[in-house]
Amino acid sequence: MSQTSFSSLKLNPVLLKNLASLDYQSMTPIQAQSLPHILSGKDVIAQGKTGSGKTAAFGLGLLEKLDVKRFRVQSFVLCPTRELADQVAKEIRRLARTIHNIKVLTLCGGMPFGPQIGSLEHGAHIIVGTPGRVEEHLRKGTLKLDDVTSFVLDEADRMLDMGFQVTLDAIIKYIPKQRQTLLFSATYPDEIQAIAERIMNDPVVIKAATDHDNASIKQLFFKIDEKVPRFTALRLLLLKYRPGSALVFCNTKLETQQVADELCGNGFSALALHGDIEQRDRDQTLVRFSNKSASILVATDVAARGLDIDALDAVINYQLARETEVHVHRVGRTGRAGNKGLACTLYSDKEGYKLARLAEYLGQEIETASLPALSLLKEPVYKPPMSTLQIDGGKKQKVRPGDILGALTGKNGIAGSEVGKISIFDNCAYTAVSRSAAQSALTKLSQGKLKGRSFGVRRIGD
């Protein structure tokens, strides 16, 4: 029996059977290294990036330990953002689908408070939440963590980056001292070490080697100067490589917004993602970028963590990251799942020391490539292949993806091949349609009905 096989673990046969049905054959490095310790009840610090399989690692640990007949909150997972909390809850539910009556509840900001109180009154086994909302429930007495035996801090470094240190300390006071604590983080700064010393008991430290094939990523470094400023260099790279989906990293929120605005002013289809963006706008931004109706996402490292976007054609570092590990994390977002990736990094003379530090970290010499010719700036800007339509009806109005697809492709409608990703939220839905068919699709949905009702529809972002 392979040591990387899930069946080599002392797991409940029901969980093993479900893993086989989900086609989870062998463990990822982070799972193989952390799961034996998690299952034996030890505290664990595991370093691994998004996509490393960490959710299944701690999710299986929580489920193995859970007493379903005891209707109390036994496991508590804290995540920095609503998107990540939703992803984690969804994965835990998948892992638990063959165990009856397990209730997993998400508690996140940006959602109505009242319904969450109602859900808590009905009870839950596992809570997945964000710091601000969880602290609010604890303060108001609507959430009790007295029976928690497993506490998970997911993306702990990002939580600290977002300024949740004080909130985190306040939450931990509500959790029993006798518990298992699991801390997962993409990077391992000194602040994480400090937290671990305060809240963990003799933790096992794991640093999972990435199974990401860096050979599939073409890394290029470009020096900028007075002749070709940074923003001009960015435009040149976008015009030369014309990536269908590009993630541009900036080091500050202010610069992120400025770069996105300037790209839009130059005709590019660009969106900004940073900590000052409201949740509803953030949802819409992620929908448009993931459904190919916006080509460029300009983001801070904190905002981009946890994004579930696999097919990323290019990463462009507008500046070198402050930490070398963060640079590697950025670059590893492209070239996934066997695809070729491109990573371009802009730097100036002032950033020379960072470049030298990165070269030492990577153990290789960094060569500077030549920027594309300035004549490229006269070329027309490329447009994304899709457009997004927003519909004023969602889950609460019982609108389903099939309803939207049927309405679009019905009599005198557009072809099914013209319809892209459909995303349903509580009170609205988004559908991507081919840019060439967008007007026809808008007319069809505006004049037709969903669930026997008329809903407002508009084209956004174009």
Residues contacting 343, CB < 8 A, separation 6+: 217, 218, 219, 220, 314, 315, 316, 317, 330, 331, 334
In the prediction, which pLDDT does 212 show? Answer: 45
The CATH number of 386-460 is 3.30.70.330
Mean pLDDT of the chain: 88
Provide CATH 3.30.70.330 ranges for the chain: 386-460
Q: What is the number of residues in the chain?
A: 462
In sequence order, which ranges of 203-351 are alpha helices (DSSP H)?
A: 230-241, 253-265, 279-290, 301-304, 324-331
Q: Kindly indicate the confidence band of residue 403, based on its pLDDT and cuts at 50, 70 and 90.
A: confident
In the prediction, which pLDDT does 1 show? Answer: 40
The closest of 45, 46, 11, 42 to 29, measured between CA atoms, is: 46
Alpha-carbon distances, residue 73 vs 79, 144, 259 (angstroms): 17, 7, 44
Report d(CA 380, CA 268) in Å as an integer: 10
Q: Kindly indicate the confidence band of residue 6, based on its pLDDT and cuts at 50, 70 and 90.
A: confident
Q: Which of 133-137, 294-298, 410-414, 437-441 has the lowest mean pLDDT?
A: 410-414
CATH class in words for 6-207: alpha beta
Do 299 and 247 contact (CB within 8 A), yes or no?
yes
In the prediction, which pLDDT does 144 show? Answer: 95
Q: Kindly indicate the confidence band of residue 330, based on its pLDDT and cuts at 50, 70 and 90.
A: confident
Predicted structure pTM score: 0.63
Provide CATH 3.40.50.300 ranges for the chain: 6-207, 214-378
| Domain 214-378: CATH architecture, name and number where available | 3-Layer(aba) Sandwich (3.40)
Q: Give strand ranges (E) for 162-264.
A: 180-185, 204-207, 217-223, 246-249
pLDDT tens digits, 205-256 = 988 755 444 556 788 999 998 889 999 999 999 999 999 999 999 999 999 9
Q: Kindly indicate the confidence band of residue 391, based on its pLDDT and cuts at 50, 70 and 90.
A: very high
According to DSSP, residue 141 is labeled T
Q: Which residue has the higher pLDDT, 47 or 339?
A: 47
Report d(CA 150, CA 76) in Å as an integer: 6
Q: Kindly indicate the confidence band of residue 4, based on its pLDDT and cuts at 50, 70 and 90.
A: confident
Burial of 405 (0-12, 13-18, 19+ CB in 10 A): middle
Q: Which of 313-322, 368-377, 445-454 has the lowest mean pLDDT?
A: 445-454
Q: Kindly indicate the confidence band of residue 50, based on its pLDDT and cuts at 50, 70 and 90.
A: low
Give yes or no for residue 337 having a pLDDT over 80.
no
In the prediction, which pLDDT does 211 show? Answer: 43
Residues contacting 19, CB < 8 A, separation 6+: 6, 11, 95
Number of H helices, E strands in the chain: 17, 18
pLDDT tens digits, 411-427 = 888 888 888 888 889 89
pLDDT tens digits, 73-108 = 999 999 987 878 888 999 999 999 988 889 999 998
Q: Which of 37-41, 308-312, 372-376 has the lowest mean pLDDT?
A: 308-312
pLDDT tens digits, 154-205 = 988 878 766 788 899 999 999 999 999 999 987 777 778 888 888 999 999 9
In the prediction, which pLDDT does 215 show? Answer: 56
